[in-house]
Amino acid sequence: MLKIFLFGTPRISLYDKPIKISRRKALALFCYLAMRDQPISRDALSNLLWSDYDPERARADLRVSLCAINKAIGDDWLVVDRDTIRISPEKPIWLDVLAFQTAVQIPLTHQHHPDEVCMACLPHYEAAYQLYTDDFLAGFTVPNVAEFEDWQLMQTEMLRLSYQQVLRKLVLGYSALQQLDAAMQYGQRWLGLDLFNEEAHRYMMCLQAWTGNKTGALQQYLTCQQILLDELGVAPSDETNQLYQDLKDGILPSFPIIYYDEITPTTPHNLPPQPNPFRGRSDEVAQLIANLKNDDCRLLTLTGLGGSGKTRLACHTARQVFAFFPDGIFFVPLVGVFNRYAILTKIADAIGFQFVEGDLQETQLFTYLSSKQLLLILDNFEHLLEHVSLVEQILQQVSTVKLLITSRTPLNLKAEWVFTVDRMTEGAEQLFLDSALRVEQRFELNQSEIIQQICEQLAGLPLAIELAATWVSVLSLPEILQEVQQNKEALETNWHDIPERQRSLQDTFEYSWRLLNSTNQQALASMAIFSGNFSYPAAKAVADVRISSLATLAAQGLIKRNAQGLYDLHILIRQFALNKLRQSPEQYMTVVLAFIRYVNQLLVDHLPELRGEGMLAAKNSLQLEFNSIRAACMLALEHQQAHLMLDALPTLALFYDIQGYYQEALMIFQQFSHAKPHHDLLSVRAKIYWGRFARLLGDYSLAKTLLLQVLEQARMFPYELASAYIQLYHVLYNQDHQQALSYAQKALEIFDELNLPLEKGMVLRAFAEIKTHIGLTDEAILDAQQALNLLRPLGDIFELAPIYRTLSRLYIYQGNYDDALVAGQKSVALYKQFDFKNQLIRSQTILASIYNRTSEYEQAQIILQEAIALAEQLQLDETLMYALLEYGTNAYYRKTYQDAIDALEQALQLSQKLNMEMFSNYLKINLSNVLLDMAQYDRAKSLILQAVPAFEAAKNYYGVVVGNNMLVKYLLATQQIEEAHILLKSNIHLANQYQLTVNWLTAICYLGELYYMLGQSENALRLIDFVIQHDSTESAIREEAIDYRDKITLALGKEQVKKLLMKPVDLDMLFN
């Protein structure tokens, strides 16, 4: 399929492969043909793009453009004849503009006013919103072609107006659904496109008010008022002024209406009036409506926790389906009803039916109902399960009646459709506000953040939210938040119009608890030990829970099963059940120990998969249970059972590393290292991981201190001793190469003695990384390849991906960019496959380095921008520093020098913060390179003279060669020819001695430039051409060499240059 994207800069792909049309007018022509989708005359196309040309030349240029299009996409996508041209209607083509226009048009066919919105409209408007990524052909121009510019402007304006209508409908729809965050997002985008649109300002005022931000709502009006005055010289309309006055007076506007279904107000009903608007639950309402409309669904039971809002949801849903029940919808409250006769009486009272003497009441009622098409809502049925046969009789004998029942427990009938009412995921804050305003009309609406935190603490349970809101008359919002954090069970009210069992959370939960048998009570209490998701095997292992208990508890809404097949307890139920468990200290400790042992084994079992091909599945599995893993760690520490988690620490550390949870890892391993009672191996192992995460967070001083302590403590534990050595290598890598290499050698000796190929491969990679810096590039590559040979058969992704990255870096030093690219792409692919973000950023940085050196600057820039954003998000200073260095290099190559300086100076600050002196010196060299091109010679010289002596003192020969090359560049720029010549000869020798091919070629290029400056054009030409022809030359150096060759060619003439280049080159002679 040919895909054409015209929103934003035009893009084309053919079977998902990007296509580039080389000529700008050819691309403009293709865009025009795509939008017209009909035959266009050649004359019209010539006038569109070549109106200032004579007809013959215009037609010739049109033919050239057609050739460019055919060359890019193939010659069968255009239909071209003598007079007209069009894109082939027979070919599979997708155009984003057409898809957008279609998505906008579909809702206009719905059976409501075009200005209104129904549930079916929203997916289409959402699709249109996603398609409109930018204005039509944004950023694309064809200079000096007025006709095309006029057409482009007209299309842009028409599509932008359609887009504004899309945004308006989305704001309207999501406001009606009370999904206010989404509505706010669309409203801000709408206002950004049309600042003078008062309707958009009014909606933003309403949205601010609905979210409790009264100050923001009033400020929005003032902003609107100022914009209209400054730009148009007019005041806001009466409608806008009235809304402002209402908001000042504390009067909230009503929410807009969204159509679920056509409502027939004449339908008889006795639905109870509600004290406040219905909030949230749009998805649940839509599903329930669909169920009630389904002919197969005659018994629909809403189950869930007490206080979850079952009754309110049932009544609200019923109001949406009046049209389907012309004979009425009737609410039957069953609180206080305890026998079959009372149920019949309640139903008769609700529908207005009176029994007469004679026939059985059931017979009379069923006969009356048999001629009615109505819906009965039987509310609070859980205490009447012994009379469920009455429900069955109604279904069997009255085929025209449907039943909507609320019950904490399902009825367990074959005909029953069960819908579990869960916590509120939207509208909770509004529910709190509504309830608060009922008890305190002067309640301020400008503390939405605290209200959100209160609702989160209460996990979206409507009854709990309403109870907490009643406290606003005696407590401030921060005080309410503190109270619910410390004592949720204290929530209660003295309302007389709700059942006693719902006047406090404690009473509500106690009522549900009493409905359980002892086995299910024990199961619920034991499962409260899990903090978050848990599986059936976990529940069985920890609490010996039966499947029947899970089914019963899930049916009553006391536990919930999610899409992954895992279970969870509502936070308030967990707290209640955990208190029940703690009432038996012996049973509590039995469950705690079983829980710790289970989590320990869970982590141990996941280690092989986490290091291999199963990494992604293992990581996702552990993430689902991570709250319980955290809880097990805390319980083990709290109850002095940390030694039970000893075997789990390697998996735990690896998981923290993969997920980037460095701060949490630092805290947990610190606590394990100090756990009571003292356990030698646990302390040593935890301290190694503590040091590792301190290093990853940039605290090298702490890491070094901890790891040196381990060297004293781990003499009896050879594996841990070697692990400490390798961590110390990483700490000293950018500080003291020789000492770091010494530690790596000690680690290798131990791992070799223990015959551990995985760990040997890990150390060999370390050797490879550091040997390059001390001038042993060939040895480094051999070490890296040996490591790869050890690791590849083991399938350990955690070590295999970084060895590819190391090889990529080494090949770059050699100038072997093809192999570097292959290795770099393998590393990036592995990290992306397993979503290992920290290491992915580092591998992306290496990949960008290759693209920088092969002139693919745009590709490098895209990769680096993504890497930097992710590093900043994860707060990874060291990783960010590496990415900024490469971004600075990229900006330098793109000749955006200020961007380069900004990036490199930020990286330098990070390296100094991290105390990475060696890397700071590399950054100084890179920064000086940019400064030299900007003719800031004094600062450049200062940075070079700081870095080179430091490299020499550390015997970092790679750094010495790079620094000397930069010093040569400075000397040449400042016409210090003799000093440059002396330094170049020694640096060429040094780069060659330590196999630093890329830097050797750079030095040769500078020598060629020096000869040119001395007037020795022939010698200069031979050296410069040697650099140009060499496969390992960096693209930027090659471009510089080509410039000099062109200058020499201009001076000597092409024929003379050709003759000179035919002679063999004696490099040794030229070097001297």
The pLDDT tens digits for 317-357 are 888 787 788 899 999 988 878 888 889 998 999 998 888 87
Burial zone of 449 (CB within 10 Å; 0-12 exposed, 13-18 middle, 19+ buried): exposed
Hey, is 537 helix, strand or coil?
helix
Whats the size of the chain, residue-wise? 1072
- Cβ of 718: how many Cβ atoms within 10 Å? 13
Kind and range of the H or E element at 569?
A: strand 567-569
Burial zone of 701 (CB within 10 Å; 0-12 exposed, 13-18 middle, 19+ buried): exposed
Share above pLDDT 90 across residues of the chain, in percent, rounded to a whole number: 28
Amino acid found at 178: Q
Q: What is the pLDDT of residue 641?
A: 93
Contact present, 673 and 688 (Cβ < 8 Å): no
Q: What is the pLDDT of residue 263?
A: 38
pTM of the predicted model over 0.75: no
Kind and range of the H or E element at 492?
A: none
Superfamily (CATH) of domain 282-420: P-loop containing nucleotide triphosphate hydrolases (3.40.50.300)
* DSSP assigned state of 196: T
* DSSP assigned state of 195: T
DSSP sequence for 383-418: GGGGGHHHHHHHHHH-TT-EEEEE-SS----TTEEE
Question: H helices within 7-110, ranges in order?
Answer: 24-36, 42-49, 55-73, 96-105
699 to each of 409, 685, 741, 753, 923, how far by Cα in Å? Answer: 55, 19, 21, 32, 20
Q: What is the pLDDT of residue 264?
A: 38
Q: Which fold has domain 1-192?
A: Arc Repressor Mutant, subunit A (1.10.10)
Contact present, 957 and 780 (Cβ < 8 Å): no
Amino acid found at 756: L
148 to each of 36, 67, 95, 101, 395, how far by Cα in Å? Answer: 13, 20, 19, 21, 70
Q: Smallest Cα–Cα separation from 900: which of 880, 878, 920, 923? A: 923
Using CA atoms in the order 677, 680, 686, 689, what is the torsion angle rounded to 10 degrees?
170
* DSSP assigned state of 503: S
1044 to each of 73, 762, 971, how far by Cα in Å? Answer: 38, 45, 18
- Please name every residue paired with 40 in a beta bridge, in sequence order, or none if there are none: 85
Q: Determine the distance from the C-alpha atom of residue 654 to the mean position of all C-alpha atoms in its chain, rounded to a whole number.
A: 21
Instruction: State the chain's maximal CA–CA distance in angstroms.
Output: 128
Query: What residues contact 211, with CB distance under 8 A and at least 6 apart?
Result: 180, 184, 429, 448
pLDDT less than 70: residues of the chain: 110-113, 259-266, 275-277, 358, 438-447, 473-474, 486-508, 774-775, 1064-1072
Q: What is the pLDDT of residue 488?
A: 54
Query: What residues contact 657, with CB distance under 8 A and at least 6 apart?
Result: 665, 696, 838
Q: Where are the domains of the chain?
A: 1-192, 282-420, 428-507, 975-1072
Q: What is the pLDDT of residue 377?
A: 95
